Every structure is written in C-alpha cells, then in structure tokens.
Structure 1
C-alpha cells in the first residue's frame, strides 16, 4: 500500500501479554500510542485475563485495542504475525514491547525489527514494589528505551514460494522438479523474450537457491543440474516467519 497525501499514519504498538499490565500500558501512554495490538496465547487463560485489564486501562486513554491469539512461545509464529500486520498497512509506525510476555516473544520483537522495520523497546520495573493488578504486575521505572536494530533485506516472493514447495516434500527434490513448480507462477521462465533456454531456467533457479542457501534455509546435495535440494531446520522456522507472504490474512480494520 502506498502512502497517499491524506493517509493517516498511526503509532501502532504491539505487545505480547503475560501477567504484566503496567509494563504494557505505561510505555504505550508515554509514547502516545494511537492503536494497541495485544498478542496472547489465549483470551481465556491468565494472559488473556491480563489482556482484558490492559484493554480497559487503554480505553481510559482513548487508545483502541485489539487482542490477537497466537503462540507467544514460538518466535517464528510471532514474527509471521507481526509481518502480516505490517505488510497490510506498511505506512504506519510500528513499535513492539520486548519487555513483556514469554522470552521467545521478546526475541521475536527484535527479529521483527530487523525484518519489518518495527521499533522494539524495553522498559524496566521496580522489583521491590508491591504488585498492582496481580502477581508479577510491578510498577515501571524510567522511560521506554528503544533497542537498536539493523535492517535485513527480506526474501522475495520467488524465494518464499520455492521454500514452501521444498518444505512440502518429504525427500530432497531435484532442481528440475523445482523449476517445473516455479514456472507455474512465473517465478522462473521467459523474461523479455517469448522463450527461455534450459540453461537460463537453471540460472534463474540457482539465483533463488543462492538466497535460500545464504539464509541457511536449504541445503544442496550434489553439484550442478543434478543437485538435490532439501530444507534445513532453520528453513522450517523461516518458512513460518514468512508464511503470511503466501497466505495473506485479512487486514485489521482498525488500521485503515
């Protein structure tokens, strides 16, 4: 989506939720959030109850809030969730609280910062103080501190489609089979002319595989045209992180 002259740019805050309430609410108020997105494993467990309290606290500040269920103990799933949100409305400013929720959720926030341009931040707590809303909900200390990140070039659609097909096979696959699959969506094939030589097709595929191999997502067994391709453990996690690029979800209406 391109940002037009009348497009509203929101400060969108994303926070995984555990037991803490104040640590989620306070920095959103301080950083003047326009919209809040809470990630929780379930809307009915302890984190879900905390999310409901957070929503009520943010309502007092006129900050619209939505709660999304996802596995906040799986970094890859959270990265995919954040990517899905950002890709639907990339013109907004996105921030992510890495102080709250499971440790995997904190890691995901930093990765999302490198992939999707999200700004992760952290805020401390007073561990000597009494809990506010319940066990583990302690007052914050100081101001939110942004976590430095660097931008990583994302994989393109062709690489993601190739990775998905490789992941769908139980055994290493041939380059020829992968070319056949990618030709169906035009990810390899003729470019400026009406025809393409077999050598050119293999060259296009090798360019895609080079990206995946550089990321550690695939392993090539053998050499040249006869090489076979298999997905790695890292590739399995990467597939989850980029899955929204293959199956875009319905965008959040609150970000329109």
Structure 2
C-alpha cells in the first residue's frame, strides 16, 4: 500500500494536515490516524449560512477530539480558486517548520486544484506532501457521506510553478492597493525608490531620468512583457501603470 507516511521522515515531531471540508469524514479522519497527525486545518466555505457541510464539520470536530488532534478552521470562498490558494499558502507559511500533508480528496474540484497549485507555488518548502485518499467504496445515495473507508493514500508529485521575483510582487502590491488600481509612472518611480524596489546610483542632475530608466527596465517591462500583470495607459501628458485582469487574479494569492 502506498502511504503518505512513507514520504515524510519517521522522525517528524509535529504533523499537520490541510483538508477542504466537503461531504467526507473518513477521507479526512483516517489519514490523520495513518500519519499520527497532531493538527488538522479545515478549509471551510466562508458563507456558512449557505454551506450544507456544517454537520460534517461537527462530526470531524468530535473525531479530532477523540484522536487528540488539534482542529483549526480557515474560511475561504470554495468557488474562488485564488482565495483558496491564498488560504492554503497562509497555512503552509504559518506551519512551515512542521511536516505538512495536503489532502486533495475531501472537497470540491476547485479546492483540490487550489491545494495542488499552492503546493507547487511553495515548492521550495521541502516538507509538504500533497496526497489523494482513495476510498474503499462510495455512497449509493445522495445526502450521505460521499465515500467510506480508505483503500489507499497516494502521494502526489509536485512541480514548481514559477512566480515573479519579490521586487515585482512588491511593485504589483503598490499598484493593486492604489485607488482604481492604477498609478502614474512618476508616482510609481518615487515610491519604488523610497521602498528600495529600484536603486539609483546616478548624479543628482540625472536622477529623475535614471529613476525612470530603472523603473522601466527592472519593474515595468517584466510586469508587462513577461507576466502581463500591468499595462501602460497614456492620458494627456501622463503615463499610467494599470493592473490587468491577470494581475488582479495573481494579486489575490501572491501578495
């Protein structure tokens, strides 16, 4: 049998699971037993009033108590892949010193994709293991737990997703947080120098020109040409740096 425990070190002292909450109990609880987990992070739909998985949350809460597993809940819109990615990333960052198992089998397809993408984005973190919990059987009728038992837990490979360099993300954050999510090139150049996103070594008389050149080469050009996160819009005498739809989506989980 494949087990996620064979991937991680037997010397792990604190083991954390991340799992989306859906209509599953066994596929969340049994892997906790298998890996002797210490903590479970449940990804719960943020609109609790319209969420039908509430009873499953209470069942999992009781099971965790019996197992002595600490339960933490993170709320995110299960229909937003970017918000789920961000939630998983934040949990992984918080738990980065522990061994982290990411369960992609217990929630929706969107949540499963988001969990895998979060693992790929944080590929440099070597103590993450996504896995798929294969059930022994499925429910015959709707309205019940969707599956029962665990036939196998299958480790999943992760491949790195390239992300922009920190300075580009810092610049994207500035644009994303400005009114209407656009900023003049002059104002951006000033802020970028102040926050040391760009560094100018020219003489004072050429300072402004050098600052624009550095901003163009090191920040604007990569964000426009390599990532398509911003675009340049000319209005009157001013040039505005404006975030694109792709940039807005990236900002949801990268910054």
TM over 0.5: yes
- Aligned residues, how many? 230
The residue number in structure 1 matching 2:105 is 99
Residues in 2 aligned to 1:233 and 1:74: alpha-carbon distance in whole angstroms: 15
1:145 aligns with 2:154: yes
1:202 match: 212
Counterparts of residues 1-256 of structure 1 (less than 5 Å):
10-42=14-46, 45-117=51-123, 118-129=128-139, 135-167=144-176, 168-170=178-180, 173-190=183-200, 197-205=207-215, 206-213=217-224, 214-220=226-232, 228-243=240-255
Residue of structure 2 equivalent to 1:253: none
Q: CA deviation at 1:241?
A: 0.1
Structure 1 residues 209 and 119, CA gap change in structure 2 (3 angstroms): farther
Deviation, 1:67, is: 1.5
- Which runs of 5 or more residues in structure 2 are unaligned? 1-11
Q: Distance in 2 between matches of 1:165 and 1:173?
A: 9
RMSD: 3.0
How much has 1:220 moved relative to structure 2? 4.2
Q: Which moved more, 1:79-88 or 1:15-24?
A: 79-88
CA drift of 1:114 comes to 0.9
Mark the CA change 1:171 to 1:56 in structure 2 (over 3 Å): closer, same or farther. closer
- Following superposition, the deviation at residue 126 of structure 1 comes to 4.3
Task: Report the CA distance shift for 1:182/1:60 in structure 2 as closer, same or farther (over 3 A).
Answer: same
For residues 16 and 124 of structure 1, the distance between their equivalents in structure 2, rounded to whole angstroms, comes to 15
Change (3 A) 1:24 1:149: same
- Structure 1 or 2, whichever has the larger Rg, is 2
Distance in 2 (CA, whole Å) between partners of 1:48 and 1:128 is 20
Report the TM-score when normalising by structure 2.
0.76
Shift of 1:96: 1.4
TM-score by length of 1: 0.76
